Amino acid sequence: DSGVTQTPKHLITATGQRVTLRCSPRSGDLSVYWYQQSLDQGLQFLIQYYNGEERAKGNILERFSAQQFPDLHSELNLSSLELGDSALYFCASSVDPTSGLYNEQFFGPGTRLTVL
Amino acid sequence: AQSVTQLDSQVPVFEEAPVELRCNYSSSVSVYLFWYVQYPNQGLQLLLKYLSGSTLVKGINGFEAEFNKSQTSFHLRKPSVHISDTAEYFCAVTYENAGNNRKLIWGLGTSLAVNP
């Protein structure tokens, strides 16, 4: 158990819909990362938040957005869903990416999204 | 742009045989290197990491990896695999000169299938 929790575990929805995925980082971790894992694209970094602020963006679509709340949990919002958005979405957390030291990322179990 | 190449997408091997999963990265600047493992239907877990010091790194479950700066490689090895090692293995790199924010650059993964 990494200490990172993600809900829900599975999500099945229809095209055009909007969903919200939730992540709670490990206690004490200030940074949250979101990843998408699909069979054809592999593991793709989407976005990173640090202490409530967006820190880095990866291959995140405009239909997707995220935020990190004052209690440090994070939500990933996916809207106007398409069949191709079906994937595993992982959240990871680390202590502080700006400290000049290496900080290991700890991964949650993921949310499997199926868009029908 | 920095990149990570995992040279084999699939590696089938018999139980108790040795295995090597290959990883090359693109940059010659100082790097931190990682191998993560993803067991079926689970999140990613850190297997081992190279930050500095000895180029031979030992990880969990009997795995080890060797950092070769001249060949920009970080190959993962195990002298004798078990059925339980069947999983997806990801190589990742973060670059020391990335400023205050270090992103992990991921390989596409190698699927290790251990057969009896």
- Residue B83: left (phi > 0), alpha (psi -120 to 50), or beta? alpha
In terms of CA atoms, which chain B residue is nearest residue A39? B108
Distance from CA of B6 to the nearest CA of A (A): 12
Q: Please tell me the predicted confidence (pLDDT) of residue B101.
A: 61
Cβ-Cβ contacts under 8 Å, A44 against chain B? 106
For position A102, what pLDDT does the model report? 63
Residue B96's pLDDT band (boundaries 50, 70, 90)?
Answer: low
- Predicted local confidence at residue A99, as pLDDT: 54
Interface test with A, best of B50, B90, B102, B108 (most A CBs within 10 A): B102
Whether A45 sits inside 8 A of B51 (CB atoms) is: no
**Could you report the per-residue pLDDT of A22-31, keeping only the tens digit for each?**
999 999 899 9
pLDDT score for A58 = 87
User: Which residue is associated with the tokens 């079906």?
Assistant: A86
pLDDT reported for residue B99: 59
Contact A105 B109 (CB under 8 A): no
Residue range B4-59, pLDDT digits in tens: 999 999 999 999 999 999 999 987 677 889 999 999 888 899 999 998 888 999 99
Of B43, B46, B102, the CB nearest to A109: B43
Name the nearest CA neighbour of A64 among A46, A49, A48.
A46
- With CA atoms as reference, the chain B residue closest to A49 would be B101
* For range A75-104, the mean pLDDT: 85
Q: What is the per-residue pLDDT across B41-54, written as a single tens digit (0 to 9) for each?
A: 888 999 999 988 88
User: Which residues partner with A43 through β-bridges?
Assistant: A37
Question: Which of A49, A7, A45 is closest to A24 using CA atoms?
Answer: A7
